[in-house]
């Protein structure tokens, strides 16, 4: 299995992608390494080998690596994927241009409905957390809101909800760029879910009809510069510790860093440092439920990178950009234990529910 330790020296890059990447092999297994913070690693997997495989046996080798990564850590780095470097560069460029628009322009596009989950979210409005209690989340938000702003984009052809786009004159080619990227990410999601199906001894197309409505969420994220003193309060972070809600999340990072992943065994947070040419992919809550918790929906957070010193007592953190594609099953899909993930000795841990029931409930509690 191709692997790379996550505790690496940070690299400076924007959205440069490599089509292949050598990685060291380890004598120890991933399961052994993640039990210690000093050896903790997130596996690096060359997905090109899955795309180029000419037999199910060849696909199964990569599928097993992906399944093992989600089982032991909940996160993997993917290289050799289908998303072209210039596509990612353009998305970052258009995202940055959007967040530079006047506040009143962005405010016209404000997020206002958890079922729609579309629109602009200003700094401080969201508080991601593990809690599902609306009152508790409200208290956390009042005490330590997340210091970021975002733009939420769903599928364009939804029968009920509409995306909230800036005018073309305000943000040229923004809509076109994001719709193309949305479709490209969906295609990668489909391929990774096929590999997961194989790794779970299911037919390769098992999930195809359960994810084909494209009920996903593309989130553009901007973390503005902030004085370090404002990040020292109890519970404060750029984005608080949380799990994601759907099947997978595809995360595209800039060079600034700040993403941290909780070691499931020690409960300590470890950096998921940016690696050129990769997408950080993590399992979400619904994939964990589908797999009867065989997969980990791992806690993660975004913390402030090293500050730029202003004076003897104060510093400021640099701005940060990221783009997250939250992959979801169809909103009407019933999420219940997969047939290969339960047995007499391991009964189902969760009652069946639909994607919409779970995600809308979590979103309604997350936002003010």
Per-residue pLDDT reduced to its tens digit, 111-158: 999 899 999 999 865 544 454 555 544 444 344 456 789 999 999 999
Q: Percentage of the chain with pLDDT > 70?
A: 80
Sort 1 into a burial class: Cβ within 10 Å, 0-12 / 13-18 / 19+.
middle
Angle (CA) 114-236-7 rounded to 5° is 100
Contacts 24+ apart (CB under 8 A), 138-141: 138/368, 140/235, 140/240, 141/368
CA 167 to chain centre: 28
Q: Give the whole-angstrom CA distance, residue 341 versus residue 157.
A: 34
CATH architecture of 4-366: Sandwich (2.60)
DSSP 340: G
**Residue 1 confidence (pLDDT):** 36
Tell me which H or E stretch contains 4: strand 4-5
Task: With a cut of 80, say whether residue 229 has pLDDT above it.
Answer: no
CA distance to 140, 330, 336, per residue, from 101 (Å): 29, 33, 43
Burial of residue 149 (number of CB atoms within 10 Å: 0-12, 13-18, 19+) = buried
Mean pLDDT of the chain: 86
Neighbours of 125 (CB within 10 A): 18
Q: Which residues of 70-90 are buried (b: 16+ CB within 10 A; e: fewer)?
A: bbbbbbbbbbbbebeeebbeb
Q: Cα–Cα distance between 27 and 342 in angstroms, integer? A: 31
25 to each of 4, 57, 64, how far by Cα in Å?
A: 8, 21, 16
Write the pLDDT tens digit of every residue in 322-359. 999 999 999 999 999 999 999 999 999 999 999 999 99
Cβ within 8 Å of residue 227, ≥6 positions away: 310, 314, 315, 316, 317
Note the pLDDT tens digit of each residue in 272-322. 999 998 999 999 999 999 999 999 999 999 887 666 667 776 667 788 899
Domain boundaries, the chain: 4-366
């Amino acid at each position: 299995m191709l692997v790379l330790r996550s505790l690496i020296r940070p690299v400076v890059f924007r959205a440069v992608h490599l089509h292949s990447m050598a990685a060291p092999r380890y004598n120890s297994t991933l399961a052994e390494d993640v039990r210690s913070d000093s050896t903790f690693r997130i596996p690096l997997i060359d997905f090109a080998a899955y795309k180029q495989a000419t037999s199910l046996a060849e696909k199964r080798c990569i599928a097993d690596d992906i399944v093992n990564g989600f089982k032991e850590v909940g996160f993997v780095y993917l290289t050799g994927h289908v998303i072209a470097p210039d596509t990612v560069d353009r998305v970052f460029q258009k995202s940055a241009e959007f967040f530079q628009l006047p506040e009143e322009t962005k405010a016209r596009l404000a997020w206002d409905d958890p079922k729609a989950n579309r629109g602009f979210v200003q700094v401080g409005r969201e508080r991601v957390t593990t809690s599902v209690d609306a009152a508790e989340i409200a208290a956390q938000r009042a005490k330590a809101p997340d210091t970021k702003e975002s733009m939420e984009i769903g599928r364009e052809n939804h029968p009920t909800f509409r995306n909230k786009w800036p005018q073309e004159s305000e943000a040229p080619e923004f809509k076109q760029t994001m719709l193309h990227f949305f479709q490209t990410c969906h295609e990668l999601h489909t391929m990774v879910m096929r590999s997961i199906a194989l790794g779970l001894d299911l037919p390769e197309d098992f999930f195809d009809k359960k994810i084909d409505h494209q009920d996903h969420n593309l989130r553009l994220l901007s973390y503005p510069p902030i004085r370090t003193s404002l990040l020292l309060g109890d519970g404060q972070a750029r984005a608080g510790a949380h799990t994601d809600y759907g099947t997978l999340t595809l995360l595209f990072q800039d060079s600034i860093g700040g993403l941290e992943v909780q070691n499931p065994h020690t409960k300590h947070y470890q950096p998921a440092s940016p690696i050129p040419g990769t997408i950080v992919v993590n399992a979400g809550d619904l994939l964990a439920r589908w797999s009867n918790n065989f997969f980990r929906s791992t806690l993660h957070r975004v913390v402030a990178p090293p500050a730029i010193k202003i004076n003897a007592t104060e510093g400021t953190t640099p701005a940060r950009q990221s783009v997250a594609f939250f992959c979801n099953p169809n909103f009407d899909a019933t999420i219940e234990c997969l047939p290969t993930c339960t047995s007499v000795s391991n009964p189902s841990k969760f009652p069946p529910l639909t994607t919409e029931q779970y995600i809308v409930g979590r979103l309604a509690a997350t936002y003010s």
